[in-house]
């Protein structure tokens, strides 16, 4: 309980909420180019683009997701080869800014000073961005597994035997997705700060971020569906909801980093 209190005291006292807003801005800039890059990439594989969008739909507020889907479909109509090359460049650059912002925040959370020369730091940030850009497409295995499972059921002579798997697939899909999120955040908290961290050190924050992000996304999605932002922001309502969701995402990530830092400090004081 003391760790949680100190984590929240630092979050507000050291104005991490301002850093979360900065990160939300960079995430907003990079989100649509990144999704376009992902969908352009999978167009070369036997995976339906709509299946990927449907897989991501539960995690984003409905109004914001509709905005993303509309813009993504409009851009993809330009042709996958050209879109892939353009979105790769823009995604890499914009995503690296989000990574740099989060890296600075996690360094502050852990009391780490960045002593690398500018060009070395920039190369490191680009390398970390590339790692995460490679990791995220691995989540595409989940829709692919569903497609394989449905093909097996369709080809099987004993459909009744396999149909039970389709019934439990939504729960299995959530479990696989949560496991992927956990592994992603373990890598995130381990790699991003400028000092090497052990898996044991980053595990509490990774668990908090993996579960907390899903809970916050669900709660905010429910709230956004019940409350109409259109009355306040008109046609900008979808963008406003998206920015708020990115802000809450950044808050959860930074709280996870603070949790790791405060847990480590408590262990140091007890030894």
Q: Is 35 helix (H, G, I), strand (E, B) or coil?
A: helix
Task: Write out the two tokens for 86.
Answer: 């353009």
Q: How far is CA 53 from CA 50, 89, 93, in A?
A: 5, 22, 23
- For residues 255 and 204, give the distance between their C-alpha atoms in angstroms, rounded to a whole number: 11
Residue 79 has pLDDT above 80, yes or no: no
Q: What is the DSSP string of 83-132?
A: HHHHHHHHHHHHHHHHHHHHHHHHHHHHT----S-HHHHHHHHHHHHHHH
In the chain, the percentage of residues whose pLDDT exceeds 70 is: 62
Residue 211 has pLDDT above 70, yes or no: yes
79 contacts 121 by C-beta, under 8 angstroms: no
pLDDT at 259: 94
pLDDT at 205: 94
Residue 212 has pLDDT above 80, yes or no: yes
pLDDT at 258: 94
Residue 68 has pLDDT above 80, yes or no: no
Task: Write out the two tokens for 212.
Answer: 């907390």
CB-count exposure of residue 18 (10 Å: 0-12, 13-18, 19+):
exposed
The residue-averaged pLDDT of 110-116 equals: 78
């Amino acid at each position: 309980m003391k760790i949680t209190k100190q984590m929240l005291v630092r979050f507000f006292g050291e104005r991490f909420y301002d850093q979360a807003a900065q990160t939300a801005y960079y995430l907003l800039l990079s989100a649509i180019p990144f999704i376009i890059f992902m969908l352009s990439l999978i167009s070369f594989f036997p995976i339906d683009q709509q299946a990927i969008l449907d897989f991501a739909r539960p995690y984003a507020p409905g109004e914001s997701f509709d905005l993303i889907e509309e813009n993504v479909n409009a851009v993809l109509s330009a042709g996958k080869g050209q879109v892939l090359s353009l979105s790769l460049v823009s995604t890499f650059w914009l995503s690296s800014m989000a990574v740099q912002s989060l890296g600075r925040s996690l360094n502050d959370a852990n009391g780490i000073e960045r002593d690398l020369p500018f060009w070395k730091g920039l190369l490191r940030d680009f390398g970390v961005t590339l790692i995460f850009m490679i990791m995220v497409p691995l989540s595409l295995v989940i829709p692919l597994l569903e497609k394989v499972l449905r093909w097996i059921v369709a080809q099987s002579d004993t459909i009744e035997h396999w149909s039970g798997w389709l019934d439990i697939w939504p729960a299995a899909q959530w479990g696989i997705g949560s496991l992927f999120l956990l592994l992603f955040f373990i890598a995130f908290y381990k790699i991003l700060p400028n000092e090497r961290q052990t898996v044991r050190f980053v595990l509490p924050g990774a668990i908090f971020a993996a579960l907390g992000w899903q809970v916050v996304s669900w709660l905010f999605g429910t709230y956004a569906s019940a409350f109409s932002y259109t009355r306040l922001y008109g046609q900008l309502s979808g963008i406003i909801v998206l920015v708020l969701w990115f802000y809450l995402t950044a808050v959860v990530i930074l709280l996870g980093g603070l949790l790791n830092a405060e847990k480590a400090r408590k262990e140091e004081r007890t030894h």
